[in-house]
Each structure stands twice: as structure tokens, then as C-alpha cells.
């Protein structure tokens, strides 16, 4: 299969983007796929979640050209995650500077798609983007670069508004910027059926985005502990509910 690009995006913070990116990446690897996780969030949390250190690899990816020498240099920043089939191109605070460069140079909306195309030849089955909760700049270009987009959203009041903004951006990219990708689904996170807020939010999301809503990821103490341990949910407890839910998400992704 050719490399498929999946972007994890929301313009709201604290919705489980990094947890979803890391869990889905490892889930796909456990199903025999090769995955490159690219951390486009300046906080560099994807690397931390995999037990690695944030590094400026993404800065170089976004600001350098496509020559063979530049590609070799960028490849030197790709790190093995310690999990067979899973590599990561880490980012750090310098990613913010890269966004400034992209905008100052007025790079086209296709800039990120073009720069990651260097990985396509003999590359991974999937490239996953973990993005920052920002508008325009890197996130817009990351969505345009992607074949599929997953929008995690916490099951709390006002969450549907954040989802609406992302879908609005995607609609503009499709209608005005010739984006050919699609929404894979909206992923409710931190779901707790014991609270009225969670249940009410799920009902609101169903009413507004019924056809796009994915099964929720339940609130989990283990998921919170994963990053601190530098382990994924499958390494913490592959039989727990959250692991099974992310396994199901990976299985769903494989259908596309």
C-alpha cells in the first residue's frame, strides 16, 4: 500500500490529541503496519509519551528543502521508538519558529505535504501528525497534507464548538484550497458515563455530528499515567478498556 497520512487535530487543547496519536500509532504497529509519528506540537509531548526526548527534527523538516543532502540530514533526526515498526520525528519549542518561517515565506498550503513526501519511497504504511491547538500556520497545512483527519474532543460542555471550528477549516480547505482528504471521524475522549456532563455532551455530539462520531474513549487513570512512564496504553495494560478502545480505533483505520 502507499503511505497514508492521518492528522490528529483540534483547535482546542486538552482533548487527548497526543494520547490518541501515540496510542493509534502503536495500535497500528501491533497490527503489523509501519508507522512514522511526526510531532508537530511545539510541546514535544509525543516523544515524551514514547520515552524519548523532544528534539528539533520537525523544525528542520518544515524549514529545509528537498535536496538529497537535506533529506539525509532530516532522516538523521528520525528516532526509533523502541517498538518495532514505530519511528518518530520529534519536535520541540523550535517548531514555533518553523511556523513563523512558513508564514513569513508565505509557503503554500501544500508545503507540509511536499516536505513529508520524501518519506514515501520505501517508507511507512502510515504517517501520523500530532498537531498543536492552533489556528492556521502548521495545523492548516498539516490537515491539507493528510488523507484522513481524526478530531478528538473531550466530553465536556462547549466541546462541540471546538469540533465545529475544525470542521469549518476543513470545509474551507476542500472548497477553496483543493484539499482531497476527508474526515475519518470525531473521537469523544475522557468519556465517563457516570457524569451528566459526559452523557449530555455525547448526546449533543450525536445530534450535531451523528454520521461522523466514533465510539468514545473512556476516562482512564492508566491513560494519564502512560506519558509519565514513557509507555503506551498497550504496554501499561493491553487488556484494559482504554487499550481495547484504541485497538478498535486502529482496526477502524485499517479499513480506509
List, for residues 115-128, the tens digit of each pLDDT value.
999 999 888 999 99
Sheet containing 79-83: order of strands: 79-83, 86-89, 35-39, 126-130, 4-8, 148-154, 182-189
Q: What domain count does the chain have?
A: 1
Give dist(CA 84, CA 173) in Å, integer: 35
Establish how many alpha carbons lie within 13 A of residue 242's alpha carbon, considering only the half-sphere containing its beta carbon: 26
- Model confidence band, residue 99 (pLDDT cutoffs 50, 70, 90): confident
pTM: 0.96
Average pLDDT of the segment spanning 223-237: 94
**Cα-based distances in Å from 108 to 19, 136, 177:** 29, 12, 10
The domain in which residue 92 lies consists of 4-253
CATH of residue 105? 3.40.50.300
The three-point CA angle 99-116-87 to 5° equals: 100
Establish how many alpha carbons lie within 13 A of residue 63's alpha carbon, considering only the half-sphere containing its beta carbon: 16
Q: Inter-axis angle of helices 159-176 and 196-209, to 10 degrees?
A: 20
pLDDT tens digits, one per residue of 69-88: 999 999 999 999 999 999 99
Amino acid at each position: 500500500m502507499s503511505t497514508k497520512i492521518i492528522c490528529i487535530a483540534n483547535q482546542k487543547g486538552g482533548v487527548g490529541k497526543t494520547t490518541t496519536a501515540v496510542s493509534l500509532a502503536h495500535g497500528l504497529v501491533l497490527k503489523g503496519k509501519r508507522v512514522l509519528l511526526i510531532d508537530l506540537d511545539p510541546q514535544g509531548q509525543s516523544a515524551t509519551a514514547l520515552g524519548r526526548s523532544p528534539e528539533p527534527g520537525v523544525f528542520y523538516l518544515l524549514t529545509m528543502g528537498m535536496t538529497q543532502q537535506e533529506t539525509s540530514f532530516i532522516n538523521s533526526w528520525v528516532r526509533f521508538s523502541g517498538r518495532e515498526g514505530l519511528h518518530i520525528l520529534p519536535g520541540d519549542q523550535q517548531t514555533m519558529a518553523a511556523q513563523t518561517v512558513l508564514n513569513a515565506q508565505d509557503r503554500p498550503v501544500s508545503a507540509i505535504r511536499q516536505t513529508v513526501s520524501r518519506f514515501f519511497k520505501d517508507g511507512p504504511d502510515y504517517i501520523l501528525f500530532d498537531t498543536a491547538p492552533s489556528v492556521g500556520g502548521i495545523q492548516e497545512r498539516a490537515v491539507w497534507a493528510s488523507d484522513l483527519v481524526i478530531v478528538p474532543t473531550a466530553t465536556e460542555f462547549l466541546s462541540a464548538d471546538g469540533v465545529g471550528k475544525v470542521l469549518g477549516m476543513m470545509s474551507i480547505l476542500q472548497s477553496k484550497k483543493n484539499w482531497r482528504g476527508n474526515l475519518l471521524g470525531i473521537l469523544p475522549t475522557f468519556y465517563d458515563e457516570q457524569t451528566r456532563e459526559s452523557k449530555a455532551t455525547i448526546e449533543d455530539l450525536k445530534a450535531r455530528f451523528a454520521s461522523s462520531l466514533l465510539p468514545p474513549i473512556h476516562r482512564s487513570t492508566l491513560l494519564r499515567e502512560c506519558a509519565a512512564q514513557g509507555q503506551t496504553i498497550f504496554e501499561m495494560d493491553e487488556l484494559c478498556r482504554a487499550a481495547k478502545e484504541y485497538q478498535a480505533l486502529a482496526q477502524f483505520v485499517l479499513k480506509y
